[in-house]
Amino acid sequence: MEMTSLNKYSYKRLQDFCATVFVHAGVMKKQADIVAASLVQADLRGVDSHGVVRTAIYLKRVEQNMINPSANIRIEKENDSTALLDGGNHFGAVVGDQALKLAMEKAKTNGVGVVGVKNSNHFGTGAYYALQALKEDLVTIIMSNASQTMPPTGGVRPFIGTNPLAVGIPCGAYEPFILDMATSVVARGKIIVAAQKGERIPIGWAVDKNGKPTTNAEEALEGSVLPLGGPKGYGISMFIDILSGVLTGAGFGKYVHNMYENWEKPQNVGHFFITIDINQFMNIAEFKQRMDLYISEIKAEPMAEDVDEILIPGEIERRISEQRKKNGIILPLKVEKELTEIGIKYGVSLSDALITNHTESEGV
């Protein structure tokens, strides 16, 4: 198990720390705030693999001119309900934020907004965008492609990414439905940890470089992670790549470049945003009542042995977020050390983000 720090960090001040670091690295304040917010929100929701752990690689790609924080994000094509956005190789979170706002504006005016994006970068978690749209009572579907980590069913080497899919749907009394998932069985990071510890991995997580199932973590890292649900996950990942990459003019398959390994070409990630105005189908109040009824009936279903509660997508993450807002975020020691060193480099103190006593809370 990865060692964690004994320190607890205020999510607000951790976000300020990250934003200030990005500003010192040459990013405009407004855009630095967006990138920092997308990272810290992932940590709040317990998706630590997409949280402040990504700060270092984002900064390195800026320093190596692999991300252009001064890029002009422009609309290449547009009509009443659709648009194609050229991200200009800006931060994925900044490009995604602009694409979402455009899609929401179109949905409110015309009932639906569909915005494709090309020339972008890793954009964080889909839930970051879903939560923004939920404030406007919009249904949102968010997709992005990613660099190669999974083989096509029947293949032996990586061709498609663990392309994420997120859906946000508002409710009334209940918390909103937020589905945010990758299309792989397991994150590659878990296999890396197993390899570091010399542990075996469960069968079904990955294949070796010859396409054979393996429980050897080192062999798995030389091979590929597997799609969720076999050919079904492969098919979902493929359609996300088609909409986000092929349709938008972004990279797809092997043309989406790895942000950790490729230092010659920008990532050229593609995204796809769909926003829907519920009022075009029924009054929003009626819809929320129907969603509440739907969820209440799901939760009232008979439960299997050793199950205390039936949950809906997004509920666990919401509870983790509430706990971490109240109690602070605990970072892995490796990440804490990395952020401390980044802070020293850019003249910002990570210790300023610490919760200094047990009575301190985010509301103070």
Supply the residues annotated as catalytic: 122
Q: 225: which strand partners? A: 206
Rounded Cα–Cα distance for residues 128 and 137 (Å): 15
C-alpha angle with apex 197: 191 to 202, nearest 5 degrees? 40
Report the DSSP pairing between strands 82-86 and 112-120: parallel
* 257 DSSP 8-state letter: P
Rounded Cα–Cα distance for residues 68 and 27 (Å): 9
Rounded Cα–Cα distance for residues 348 and 355 (Å): 17
Who contacts 196 (Cβ-Cβ below 8 Å, separation ≥6)? none
Q: Cite the DSSP H helix spans in the chain.
A: 11-24, 29-44, 55-63, 92-110, 126-134, 188-197, 217-222, 231-241, 284-299, 315-327, 333-346
Rounded Cα–Cα distance for residues 27 and 92 (Å): 13
Rounded Cα–Cα distance for residues 123 and 323 (Å): 25
Contact assessment for residue 183 and residue 237, using Cβ atoms and an 8 Å cutoff? yes
Contact assessment for residue 221 and residue 191, using Cβ atoms and an 8 Å cutoff? yes
What one-letter code names the amino acid at 153?
A: T
Rounded Cα–Cα distance for residues 97 and 38 (Å): 10
Could you identify the residue written with the tokens 């029924």? 282
Who contacts 112 (Cβ-Cβ below 8 Å, separation ≥6)? 81, 106, 274, 275, 276, 277, 280
Rounded Cα–Cα distance for residues 360 and 341 (Å): 26
